[in-house]
Structure 1
């Protein structure tokens, strides 16, 4: 089972690689220590065997050599020493009398001070006239380094065996770690990645009576709870959307009547109202009704978008004309606050396949926000053109601005930020959220740049590869 099967590479940061590194270190250290201990013991055994062999040889020569020394048979002494040369490691041998004079010798006579040379000294005794007589000494010198060649062969063989054992142990431990830890962790990571990328909830197929099994079981339990929660949330959202839709309908019907009758009273369709205060009251009623209707429409729109029932009806849209008509709609508000509005629109922008009503709503929301939060005698600038091969429309104002930490919040439904204006301006805080979601439905994006006390620039982008351009 490869690590790429689960989208997880075998890098130094993975748990498996760390465990494998620990395994290699521990196994290697254990095998090296075992190898050193084993070879040291082997070397000691060879040393002891060599020492015992020469001790045995010396013991076997003591009796015959002692008799020859007693008889002063030098030729026999020389003959007795000659076979020693057939023993590996033999260096030299001396036979001396009680006065220390050398009676016979055999082997090397130089470089006898090497630390590898081991000397064996035996006293020569013989039984004469019923008494044990000491007649001299026998000294054997052998070289213990004769074992080095044999040790080298053992080292090579044992080293090869050790490598094979190390490879088998590493394979077994790696397979075990992969099977008992790597596989469940990979499946767990795959499930988490699926949940993050596609909101796909799936159980991890693993069961073991250890910490990994407990972790997987806990994760599966959380997944079950999350699935149940999401199902309940979907039902709740549907119920909320249905309720909002019904309530919006129930509110719109009498509200439209209130707005209609207040307009008739304002225009005095059926005659004068009498007192001038009634005329102002009618104007106030109409404004309040229009404002309430706008709030209801915003809430209904966000509800449709969240429920996935907001349908786009695309048609050929002239961006130049769309921008101009939107500006005309907010001219009264601009004049009331004496805000100067300028445009910088690239000539001959192409027609695009868009939902004209919803895109006009986006532009109207952006302009309304700018007017709402720009002080009297402020400035608003609209730009339209190309930016990095995308079509872009931006609304730039000299309003109060938004703090950097609040930029993400303003795109969430019902969010209004800033102590400067959140209690002073009317609205639900849905304008930017609706605009952002409409742009997402079109495959576009909405971006905000702002500085407190300086102003705000909101830009919308229409990627060409997501839109059907027409001539």
Structure 2
């Protein structure tokens, strides 16, 4: 297992019980052997120095003159060195040894040693005890530090192992997500191919239905005889047109989703285009006795855009305005141009949309189904398609709640798509 450098590296190494200097087993604690060896003074070196120094001091003390009280001073160094030895009680062991050697030295020289020397040795032993206590405290602090390092190192190792496990899980999850994405992309590609194929397959019979029903309602081959046949042919033609429009909407939505929709840009005059779309909505608008108020700014510049795409966006917005407005309502269309570009606003007098749902209605297949919208029709693709087409033109499409009610749809084209108008005038219908 890989270990974290620093404190973790020392902590995960093998530890063992240290041995006492006289062969006994130490009675406390685990201390890292490798960590002890990293000090400037290893335990083994300290032991050898202490032995040599204690023996040398003992010999020197014996041969030194009786009045030489400083002959036992090296014992302090021996006890201090014991702080670097592994056994935790080593300072006290060496204190006992040095004290015994100091007393033995006095006893050997007893015939020629004044009583003051015994007092000197007692003071020396007392000071040796203090030094051994300090050495023990230093050794214990180091042992606690090593144990803390070992514990922290183990925690680091555990955390590292947990992170490696989490990393493996994340890697596995990432692979699953990649597989799921690949599967979803394959499904989307298959869906687009299916829609393209079905569009071709359905257009042929729908065109036949529309063509023959149109010939029947115009009685090109002669009178139908029964007046109900004329009503039926009109219904067939209208239903076929609705199916064809829905089919085209699904195909456009698929092309927008796959970024395969290509703009065919040209200079578009918005005025006749709006009148054309309004005329297409005249039937349903007249049935609800709706009134139009169209205001187009004089001298409106031409728009550099895909005419079919702009017509589809306007048709969707105006169709929704007609669909959700109550009878005898006023529908307002405002078109203006300024330094920010060309903007088209469509105001209706319907129930309106809650502020928190304004963005929701721009999502695919969102119809805002409720008691007020039930039976209004539509697959929920018009606004989402309009949003996609607007983005292709670098335009903005947003919905706002009217004041006090109704909904305002705003389609704003950037100024770089404006072209100076070749004619001017204001049309009020």
TM-score by length of 1: 0.53
Q: What are the ranges of 5 or more consecutive residues in structure 2 without an aligned counterpart?
A: 1-151, 422-429
Q: 1:329 to 1:284 in 2, by over 3 A?
A: closer
The one of 286, 295, 312 aligned to 2:246: 295
Match of residue 290, structure 2, among 339, 347, 354 = 339
Change (3 A) 1:215 1:462: farther
Q: Deviations over 1:298-343 (max 9, x none)?
A: 1111011112211101111222333233223323332222111112
Q: Give the deviation of 1:406 after TM superposition.
A: 2.6
Distance of 1:439 and 1:258 partners within structure 2:
33
**Structure 1 counterpart of 2:204:** 253
Give the corresponding residue for 2:216.
265
Instruction: State the Cα distance separating 1:470 from its structure 2 match.
Output: 5.7
> 1:35-434, aligned counterparts within 5 Å?
209-386=160-337, 389-434=340-385
Measure the CA separation in 2 of the matches of 1:405 and 1:451. 14
Give the alignment partner of residue 435 of structure 1, picking from 383, 386, 397: 386
DSSP 3-state at the match of 1:273: coil
CA–CA separation in structure 2 for the residues paired with 1:298 and 1:452: 31
Secondary structure of 1:361's counterpart equals helix
Which residue is 1:6 aligned to?
none
Instruction: Give SS of 1:247's match.
Output: helix
**Residues 315 and 356, structure 1, Cα contact 8 Å, conserved in 2:** yes
1:215: how far off? 3.8
Higher strand share: 1
Q: For residues 303 and 368 of structure 1, do their structure 2 counterparts lie closer, same or farther at Cα, with a shift above 3 Å needed?
A: same
Deviation at 1:354?
0.7
For this pair of structures, how many residues does the alignment match? 270
User: Whole-Å Cα distance in 2 between the matches of residues 452 and 210 of structure 1?
Assistant: 61
The 2-side partners of 1:322 and 1:460 are apart by: 14
TM-score (norm 2): 0.58
Greater shift after overlay, 287-296 or 224-233? 224-233
Paired with 2:404 and 2:199, the residues of 1 have a C-alpha distance of: 37
Listed one character per residue, the Cα deviations across residues 81-139 of structure 1 (whole Å, up to 9, x for unaligned) are xxxxxxxxxxxxxxxxxxxxxxxxxxxxxxxxxxxxxxxxxxxxxxxxxxxxxxxxxxx
* Distance (Å, rounded) in 2 between the aligned partners of 1:319 and 1:224: 50
* Paired residue secondary structure (1:209): helix
Distance change in 2, residues 1:454/1:215 (3 Å): same
Alpha-carbon spacing, 1:339–1:309, altered in 2? closer, same or farther (3 Å): same
How far apart, in 2, do the equivalents of 1:313 and 1:398 lie? Answer: 34
* Root-mean-square deviation over aligned CA pairs: 2.9
User: Equivalent residues in 2 for 1:13-28 (5 A)?
Assistant: none
Structure 2 CA distance for partners of 1:303 and 1:421, relative to 1, 3 Å: farther
In 1, Cα distance between equivalents of 2:215 and 2:248: 23
Structure number with the bigger relative contact order (C-alpha 8 A, sep ≥ 6) is 2
